Amino acid sequence: MGEPLLRQVGAPVERFDAELTALVADMNDTMRALNGAGLAAPQIGVSLRVVIFEVNSNPRYPDVSPIPYTVLVNPQLTPLGDDQEEGWEGCLSVPGLRGLVPRFRSLRYRGYDLEGTPIDRTVEGFHARVVQHEVDHLDGILYPQRMRDLRNFGFEEALRGQMRPMPD
């Protein structure tokens, strides 16, 4: 947080080529090394509209359903209804901190996978939250900017026991 690149709007991907494959491989390595649920290209210094995410079933997060590993290029989000819900989020670009963030409960997302094949999914709950968080990175937005009450923002250590745990 504070890096100018994280405040920029990323450029659309124009070619599904070896360079894109290499970028996504780097993103995947980074996400796994840091145990994240998702990562956006600007977080590793590349201002392109590419995000990845994956959530495996984890006994530490019994409320969270698994999300298949997804590479989403040039994503477009369409919220389904006005319903929002608040949930705790973390971010690999804001390490050690957590905040309570409102997100649309349900949405449709479209985009392309690594080969350029269209993706079109309707999701809700934590899956919808992860996608909104990651796609915000492509528009230069970090989750603290979405918070309604900064009293619900703090160090993970201090918040332990006060929040329902969620993966990063």
Closer of 5 and 16 to Ni ion (Cβ): 5
Helix (H, G, I), strand (E, B) or coil at 136: helix
- Is 134 an annotated catalytic residue? yes
CB of 115 to Ni ion, least distance (A): 25
Closer of 73 and 91 to Ni ion (Cβ): 91
CB of 47 to Ni ion, least distance (A): 15
CB of 88 to Ni ion, least distance (A): 13
Q: Are 11 and 106 in contact (CB under 8 A)?
A: no
Residues that bind Ni ion (CB under 5 A): 91
CB of 15 to Ni ion, least distance (A): 26
Closer of 16 and 144 to Ni ion (Cβ): 144
- Catalytic pick from 86, 115, 134, 157? 134
Closer of 16 and 165 to Ni ion (Cβ): 165
For residue 117, give both structure tokens. Answer: 């094949």
Q: Which residues are catalytic?
A: 134
